[in-house]
A and B are shown apart, each in its own frame.
Chain A
Amino acid sequence: MIRRLGYYAICICFMIIMLLSGCKKEPVKIGLVGNLGDTGSDLSVNTMYGAMLAVEAVNDAGGIKGRQVQLVVKNDMNDPKRAVEVDNELIEEGALGIIGHSLSSMGVEAVPFINEKGIVMVSPTMSSDMYANKKDWLFVVTPSTVFQSIRISEALFEHGHDNIGILYQEENKAYSYQMVSDLKGVFEEVGNIVFEKAFESSKEGGYEEAVSNIENEKITALVIMGSNYDIASLAQVFDSKGMTMDVYMPTWGMGEVLLDNAGGKAEGYYAVGAFDHTSQVPSYLEFKERYRSKYGEEPTFSSLYGYEAAMLLLDSIIASDDFDRKKIKEVLDSTESYQGLQERIILNENGDSIRTMYLMQVSGDDFIRID
């Protein structure tokens, strides 16, 4: 009889628990950090949107071992100190890995921190070569600056430019300096760099000031290392001052904002990147369609990198068959390549992605591949 009563008691407790609390497994947390809520935050927002689609895909497929994945988003406010703080917050909240940061300048303090704490960081857009070729806890989805520099140099050479100038954003100097350094290292073999000047995007009238500084320089091509908003704004100023020259930009400058805000003045600008906006690969087309219907926008390179970074991290968590940060790193260390939305990407022994670099040109409302 005691067993029978016990059975009833269990049933009742179960019903009460079901009624009053419900039953749910703890979600698997991964973090996303970037510069959100500021000018130039499109990069991180698009990364976040891409990552959200990846998380949604995994959750729709049943999650990881029956647990849903939760993307915890933090704003590093484009501040290296703040970057470490939010990384620490994510570690304390139990995140198994971090997607981010967006800008290379954040990695100066964040990368040593995550190496010390032992948490994997998969960055979608942190391309500075200063983080490449190191065996650490950082894995990067975008190709490093040196690859972009090589491709820009090739394009400049092919287009017959031997006197060029460089304009770079001061705020993201960890990226900009590295990019300038890489470009100089490559291009000076074949041409002359007339100047290399910085501009402050956050400063009122910063663009006009920058343009005034180079207005009289004798160059046939200009390489701008800035965000898409920077380039759109600069394009308008160039136009207003009647300056005409070939403009080249690394991947960072590519984006919808450039096309919207440049008022058509960026037409013909060149860009290099591993992201082909016109790709017809089915997986990308499907992603593109999902992205559009969900966010009402076209995916950018950072959307794609955000998706791929999240997928790389989530696949590693699944493959580790455990919710252990160290095992996740081991899986990533042993990963030689992964499937991107547009191609299969090689991940070298240092966790740096090697992808095909394309030369693209602004044409109307789009970036068109010209190689």
Chain B
Amino acid sequence: MKKKTTLSQSILANNIITILIPMILFLLFVTFIIIDRYEGATVEKNRMIAETISDQFEVILEEPVSLANYIERELLIRNQTIDKSFEDSLGSMVSEYDYVFQLEIVDEKGIVFSGSDKAQLDMNRSGETYYKTLQGSKDGNFWNTPYISTATRGLAYSFAHKSSEGFYVVVYVDISALSDTSTDFALQFGDQIEVAIVDEFGKYLSHSKKENVLYRQVDENIPVIKSIVKGETDYARVTHDGIEQLLTVADINLAEWYVLVYQPSDIVFNVLSQLVFLFAGVFIIALVISTVYAFAYTKRISAFINRMFEAIDGSRDSQYKIDLPDFHYKDLNGIGDRFTDLMNEVRNRDAMLYEMAYFDSLTGLGNRQWLIDRIDNRGQDSTGTSALAYVDIDNFKLVNDIYGHDVGDGLLSAVSELLNKTFKEEHVEICRLSSDVFGVLFCGNFLMPSFADRLNMLSEQLQQGTFVESNIVKVSISVGLAIADEDSNSHDKLIMNADFALYEAKRSDRTLLRIFDDRMHERLHKKINMSNFLKVALQKDLFELHFQPQIDIVTDRIYGFEALVRMRDLNGELVSPGEFIPVAEDSGMIIEIGEWVLREAVSFIWYLNQMNESEYKMSVNISTIQLNAPGFVDKAMEIIGIMGDRRDLIEFEVTESVFIQSEGEALEAVKALNKEGVKFSLDDFGTGYSSLSYLTRMPFDILKIDRSFIIDVDTNEAKKEMLESIIEMGHKLSYSIIAEGVETMEQLGVCKSYGCDIIQGYLYSRPLTRAEIEKYIMNYKKDN
């Protein structure tokens, strides 16, 4: 991933680059211009030197030519007769010419017949190159390659001229003397150039380093030299003596020799470097000034950006401090203004969201999240949170159902005001945690007696009635109290304890206040253990179904059976339904257990009816939670599908809690199943509100009178009357009436006398297993 840099770093870097790149380009441009111009001038100067030396050499080389021609003429005049005066004149010619050290006249056979060196007379030159070269021609000139002369002990060359008469005039020239001449001449132009003369193979004939001539060294650049002479290029950059040099060449036409002028190319750079350093100095100063300015500028931008960062960081903690510096740049100011507007908008939105997230819109009180924050911020000790009370309005749903939601909302507002009034103290804070549950948070010292007194006052006040929208609504409350535990370090425990205390208060009827203690804690653990065991029980088939017969006392036949679920522990002992059913309901396991019960019960009644060709009914208890569960209707229809068109033989027993604890979903489920033929009975009738309005709103077929009405109905006149009234009312509403818990003949007698339709109870049979039911049916048929 590409590494990121900051804006100010980037501005600084780019500033340096924008200075450096033009600087480098400018320097390169200037360098190339100067190199080009200076190099051109240098080459032009060197060419002039080379050509001057070349011209000078042309003159020098003319000497042996003119000398040879002179001797030839003399000999022709003398008709090739050699006398002493001629030989003497040859000797004086040698001393007269600076570069000539020997003269020879060779006959057409190659024999030396005259010369300045008498020792050479009669020597045979027929092996010499000039002789071999000119032998076949009528006349001509030849320049021999340089060699070391025994006479001069130095490098020499010979010029041979063949006369038309067949003899040869040979002039020996001392190259060392020539070399000295050219070297001296070159010194006039300073020591920065090196002048050399080479033959066609690059062998030095003249050089400032005499040993190069003496050693017959070869110039390594001879191919380049020839290309310059040919005009392929004006000059060349070559390596000579291990360094790069500019090479200029002029040729000496007379002998196919070349004058070379070398000049190190770095001489150009020496001149250039001063200029480059000057420019570089100027640019560096410019770079420093520019960088300092850019640094100051980027510091201001950084400050601007940092302020924005600070504002953004502050906004996370709801600290909206926006203090951006004013720039003289419109765009940055524009960004600043818009950022300020944006932060203000965020602040307003934040406040609104905070309201929504932390406060209840109806009462204006804090909500659960507010409570959690409060506890967390304050801590839980003597100076922080000390206690939390959950205040729940009992059966608040009934208020909504009876008076409507406006009244319900009005009641909630009234309760919140009352709570505020009751606990109007600095260290107490009120919040609304759910629909009908309020929280009272105590900080600092918590005084239980004072709290209890105020709570009683509040309860009495509510029970006496609250005036809400022209209605006097009387409600009771339940309160769970948890005292802060100094060991706990989070809100979780306190809230859970208060919640559990409230749960306990609700469970125990008519109890205003329950304070969380360790026993509750144990119960809580038990509940958790039971919840875990229920899962195990389902997996290990520890549930079993018992069936209690229901007898139609009009026909004295078996009406049907009520399916009653039982569970065994791992030791095989039965566990009381009172222990596990509430836990199953609380944990949601009731949905799975209920499905199992329904499947078992339906398949059993279908089996019994098939076996006995009967029309027994099967009554199954359905909890509110099951009815509220999504997909329950479909699941139930799938299970009772086995009954075919006799779904009317299945009866679902529901309690009044269906109407109190649930919204419309449960009622819709009841209606849907009833429409499909399933019968519904209202269980435990008479123990709760027994509101007649439920009966009119719901499609019940059967009322099951709770066993509490039956227990002493034979001796309690009031109950007799109530039983009579219920049965009479039920019949008037076309319900069948089932009396539960009938254990004695007296109770049966009373029920019969009031026209009760069906009896269920130990008088006829306790709940039986499948096998026992089959036996019971057989025996019952036999007895009747």
Q: How far is the CB of B303 from chain A (nearest CB, A)?
A: 19
Given A22-B244, A263-B110, verify A205-B126 contact (CB < 8 Å): no
CA distance A265 to B199 in the complex (A): 30
Contact of B242 among A27, A75, A262, A265 (CB under 8 A): A27
Find out whether the CB atom of A36 lies under 8 angstroms from the CB atom of B216: yes
Closest to A257 in B: B147
Find out whether the CB atom of B127 lies under 8 angstroms from the CB atom of A39: no
Q: Which of A12-20, A99-107, A299-307, A316-324 lies on the face that meets chain B?
A: A12-20
**B residues within 8 A CB of A52?**
218
Find out whether the CB atom of B218 lies under 8 angstroms from the CB atom of A1: no
Contact of B124 among A27, A264, A295 (CB under 8 A): A264
Q: Tell me if A294 is interfacial: C-beta within 8 Å of chain B.
A: yes
Q: Which of B11-19, B186-194, B672-680, B753-761 lies on the face that meets chain A?
A: B11-19
**A residues within 8 A CB of B155?**
37
Closest to B6 in A: A1
Q: Which of A41-49, A110-118, A154-162 lies on the face that meets chain B?
A: A41-49
Find out whether the CB atom of B128 lies under 8 angstroms from the CB atom of A263: yes
**A residues within 8 A CB of B24?**
12, 15
Find out whether the CB atom of A264 lies under 8 angstroms from the CB atom of B126: yes
Contact of B153 among A39, A73, A75, A208 (CB under 8 A): A39
Closest to A294 in B: B201
Q: Tell me if A88 is interfacial: C-beta within 8 Å of chain B.
A: no
Q: Which residues, 218 to 241 on A, are CB-close (under 8 Å) to B?
A: 229, 232, 236, 239-240
CA distance A38 to B214 in the complex (A): 8
Find out whether the CB atom of B215 lies under 8 angstroms from the CB atom of A296: no
CA distance A192 to B214 in the complex (A): 43
**B residues within 8 A CB of A65?**
none
Q: Tell me if A350 is interfacial: C-beta within 8 Å of chain B.
A: no
Query: How many interface residues does A have (CB within 8 Å)?
Result: 45
**B residues within 8 A CB of A236?**
123-124
CA distance A20 to B16 in the complex (A): 23
Q: Tell me if B5 is interfacial: C-beta within 8 Å of chain A.
A: yes
CA distance A115 to B198 in the complex (A): 39
Q: How far is the CB of A51 from chain B (nearest CB, A)?
A: 12
Given A49-B218, A73-B217, verify A263-B127 contact (CB < 8 Å): yes
Q: How far is the CB of B564 from chain A (nearest CB, A)?
A: 81
Contact of A8 among B17, B119, B201, B269 (CB under 8 A): B17
Given A75-B214, A75-B215, verify A70-B242 contact (CB < 8 Å): yes
Closest to A204 in B: B119
Find out whether the CB atom of B244 lies under 8 angstroms from the CB atom of A261: no
Contact of A239 among B16, B124, B222 (CB under 8 A): B124
Contact of A263 among B12, B16, B119, B124 (CB under 8 A): B124
Find out whether the CB atom of B127 lies under 8 angstroms from the CB atom of A262: yes
Find out whether the CB atom of A4 lies under 8 angstroms from the CB atom of B217: no
Interface class of chain B by DSSP: mixed
Find out whether the CB atom of B153 lies under 8 angstroms from the CB atom of A260: no
Which interface residue of B16, B28, B148, B218 has the most chain A CB atoms within 10 A? B148
CA distance A261 to B216 in the complex (A): 19
Find out whether the CB atom of A295 lies under 8 angstroms from the CB atom of B203: yes
Q: Tell me if B511 is interfacial: C-beta within 8 Å of chain A.
A: no
Query: How many interface residues does B have (CB within 8 Å)?
Result: 45
**A residues within 8 A CB of B17?**
8
Q: Tell me if A259 is interfacial: C-beta within 8 Å of chain B.
A: yes
Find out whether the CB atom of B12 lies under 8 angstroms from the CB atom of A1: yes
Q: Tell me if A370 is interfacial: C-beta within 8 Å of chain B.
A: no
Contact of B201 among A12, A38, A295 (CB under 8 A): A295
Which interface residue of A4, A75, A259 has the most chain B CB atoms within 10 A? A4
Q: Tell me if B337 is interfacial: C-beta within 8 Å of chain A.
A: no
Given A36-B216, A263-B127, verify A1-B5 contact (CB < 8 Å): yes
**B residues within 8 A CB of A295?**
201, 203, 218
Q: How far is the CB of B754 from chain A (nearest CB, A)?
A: 99
CA distance A73 to B203 in the complex (A): 15
Q: How far is the CB of B520 from chain A (nearest CB, A)?
A: 65
Q: Tell me if A5 is interfacial: C-beta within 8 Å of chain B.
A: yes
Find out whether the CB atom of A260 lies under 8 angstroms from the CB atom of B129: yes
Find out whether the CB atom of A39 lies under 8 angstroms from the CB atom of B150: yes
Q: Tell me if B345 is interfacial: C-beta within 8 Å of chain A.
A: no
CA distance A36 to B218 in the complex (A): 13
CA distance A4 to B12 in the complex (A): 12
Q: Tell me if B273 is interfacial: C-beta within 8 Å of chain A.
A: yes
Find out whether the CB atom of B148 lies under 8 angstroms from the CB atom of A4: no
Q: Which residues, 249 to 270 on A, are CB-close (under 8 Å) to B?
A: 257, 259-265
Q: Tell me if B145 is interfacial: C-beta within 8 Å of chain A.
A: yes
Q: How far is the CB of B199 from chain A (nearest CB, A)?
A: 8
Find out whether the CB atom of A263 lies under 8 angstroms from the CB atom of B125: yes
CA distance A232 to B216 in the complex (A): 21
Which interface residue of A36, A260, A265 has the most chain B CB atoms within 10 A? A260
Which interface residue of A37, A45, A48 has the most chain B CB atoms within 10 A? A37
CA distance A52 to B216 in the complex (A): 12
Find out whether the CB atom of A38 lies under 8 angstroms from the CB atom of B153: yes
Q: Tell me if B20 is interfacial: C-beta within 8 Å of chain A.
A: yes
Q: Tell me if B200 is interfacial: C-beta within 8 Å of chain A.
A: yes
Q: Tell me if B31 is interfacial: C-beta within 8 Å of chain A.
A: yes
Closest to B121 in A: A240
Q: Which residues, 481 to 501 on B, are CB-close (under 8 Å) to A?
A: none
CA distance A365 to B125 in the complex (A): 13
Closest to A3 in B: B3
CA distance A232 to B13 in the complex (A): 81
**A residues within 8 A CB of B214?**
36-37, 75
**A residues within 8 A CB of B201?**
294-296
Find out whether the CB atom of A205 lies under 8 angstroms from the CB atom of B119: yes
CA distance A73 to B216 in the complex (A): 11
**B residues within 8 A CB of A48?**
215-217
**B residues within 8 A CB of A4?**
13
CA distance A239 to B148 in the complex (A): 24
Q: How far is the CB of B768 from chain A (nearest CB, A)?
A: 89
Q: Tell me if B211 is interfacial: C-beta within 8 Å of chain A.
A: yes
**A residues within 8 A CB of B217?**
48, 73
Find out whether the CB atom of B153 lies under 8 angstroms from the CB atom of A263: no
Q: How far is the CB of A52 from chain B (nearest CB, A)?
A: 7
Q: Tell me if B445 is interfacial: C-beta within 8 Å of chain A.
A: no
Q: Tell me if B122 is interfacial: C-beta within 8 Å of chain A.
A: yes
Given A12-B24, A264-B127, verify A19-B31 contact (CB < 8 Å): yes
Find out whether the CB atom of A37 lies under 8 angstroms from the CB atom of B211: yes
Q: Tell me if B9 is interfacial: C-beta within 8 Å of chain A.
A: yes
Find out whether the CB atom of B122 lies under 8 angstroms from the CB atom of A260: no
Find out whether the CB atom of A5 lies under 8 angstroms from the CB atom of B16: yes
Find out whether the CB atom of B148 lies under 8 angstroms from the CB atom of A39: yes
Find out whether the CB atom of B242 lies under 8 angstroms from the CB atom of A294: no
**A residues within 8 A CB of B124?**
236, 239, 262-265
Given A20-B269, A48-B217, 10 further pairs, Cβ under 8 A: A5-B13, A8-B16, A12-B20, A12-B24, A36-B216, A38-B148, A42-B148, A236-B123, A240-B122, A264-B110
| Chain A interface residues (CB < 8 Å from chain B) | 1, 4-5, 8, 12, 15, 19-20, 22, 27, 36-42, 45, 48-49, 52, 70, 73, 75, 204-205, 208, 229, 232, 236, 239-240, 257, 259-265, 294-297, 365
| Chain B interface residues (CB < 8 Å from chain A) | 5, 9-10, 12-13, 16-17, 20, 24, 28, 31, 110, 119, 122-129, 132, 145, 147-150, 153-155, 199-201, 203, 211, 214-218, 222, 242, 244, 269, 273
19 example contacts (A-B, Cβ-Cβ < 8 A) are as follows: A1-B9, A1-B13, A4-B13, A5-B16, A12-B24, A36-B215, A37-B215, A38-B153, A39-B149, A39-B150, A41-B215, A42-B148, A48-B217, A261-B127, A261-B128, A295-B218, A296-B145, A296-B201, A365-B127
